[in-house]
Chains A and B, each alone.
Chain A
Amino acid sequence: MAESNAGGVGIDPMHQFEIRRYVELDFLGVDVSFTNSSLWMVIAVALITAFTTLSMSGRALVPGRWQSAAEMTYEFVASMVRDNVGTDGMRYFPFIFTTFMFVLFCNMLGMIPYSFTVTSHIIVTFAMAVLIFLGVTIIGFITHGLGFFKFFVPPGIPAVLLPLLVVIEIISYLTRPISLSVRLFANMLAGHTMLKVFAGFVVLMGIWGVLPLVFMVALTGLEILIAFLQAYVFAILTCIYLNDALHMHH
């Protein structure tokens, strides 16, 4: 750690992704240490809670700036759920709202220099994707019973090919948590690595560092956009999967 500090931020672009244990904790033999990842998760949760509750404390009919921001976020996610799942999907709106806000805030907080991007770890995004995947699959089976298996039977296929295609469809279905989590993780990883590399260039090139600095500013803007977009994509894919489970059409 000492050498990377001495070498500056630019030398090792992967250094920012390291997990550091602030408080070593052990609960019944399970490692529950409070890490930098935990810290930024807690910060994200605290900020989201503050944003959605404190801003609404006035309950004003004519909203102030913060209240209207909170309401706009609400409407944004609500219309996303309505458009992609339908009104019967509104039951799962709190879950999708939580998912969207958590991913969005984790992505955005990662844009702060020297912070840690929770969503740049595959295990975090994969855990969320698996949770969504399992939840959606269970909802599918609860809603349609064993009829949900029909989801894997493509229409208009000769009986000979059917078993093969059902297996392929099931494999395809099982790839959902992977593509969902990899997309978010890879975007965060790539963006932040790039930013760090260019930051390193700025330091290394001295006076000529202005050039990569300009590029870095543009890249930061792009990364903020991507941070939002990936949270949006994550939430909208959740909506689409939920819609599949509830209404069973591809």
Chain B
Amino acid sequence: MPEKEDESPKPSALKDLDQRLRQARGTEEQFDSSEQRGNALGLAFRLVTELVAGVVVGGVIGWSLDFWFGTTPWFLLIFFALGSLAGILNVVRTAQVMNAKQALDDDVVGRAEKQDTQDT
């Protein structure tokens, strides 16, 4: 029967076109910003910076207040402690953000892979 010969290629060609159309549409908004995953040293350095920055800012504030009010070591001591706390807070936050990003990245990658296998 002749119908079988010209029936089968047509839908596959259309499907192909459909897929290409969808692909063309998809790539427009598929600019993934791949997150950097620093090595351990970079990570450690980052956290240390956060901690030290807190201490430094606290120290500078305390020292300035002492300088203005002539209360020498007190404000420095207080703000040194507060600065350390702020530094620890920074470290915790940075670590949390890094963890969340890692999880999100893994999630996104995992989902993309799953979709990929489903498509093919």
Chain A interface (Cβ < 8 Å from any Cβ of B): 75-76, 79-80, 83, 164, 167-169, 171-172, 174-175, 178-179, 182-183, 186-187, 229, 232-233, 250
Contact = CB atoms under 8 A, between A and B. Distances in A.
Sorting the interface of chain B by its residue count into under 10, 10 to 19, 20 to 34 or 35 or more gives: 20 to 34
B58 A171 contact: yes
Given A80-B33, A167-B82, A168-B89, A175 B54 contact: yes
Contact of A168 (B38, B50, B86): B86
A168 B54 CA distance: 9
B104 to A, nearest CB: 11
A182 B53 contact: yes
A233 B38 CA distance: 11
B49 A179 contact: yes
A83 B33 contact: yes
B87 A175 contact: yes
A175 B33 contact: no
B77 interface: no
Contacts of B86: 168-169, 171-172, 175
Contacts of B61: 171, 174
A6 B57 CA distance: 42
A66 to B, nearest CB: 19
B48 to A, nearest CB: 10
Contacts of A187: 42
A108 B56 CA distance: 30
A117 B61 CA distance: 32
Closest 8 CB pairs of A and B: A175-B53, A171-B86, A178-B53, A172-B86, A79-B31, A168-B86, A179-B53, A174-B57
A250 B37 CA distance: 21
A160 to B, nearest CB: 16
Contact of A76 (B31, B54, B58): B31
Given A79-B31, A182-B49, 20 more contacts: A76-B33, A79-B33, A80-B33, A167-B82, A168-B85, A168-B86, A169-B89, A171-B79, A171-B83, A172-B86, A172-B90, A172-B93, A175-B54, A175-B56, A175-B86, A178-B56, A179-B53, A183-B49, A233-B36, A250-B93
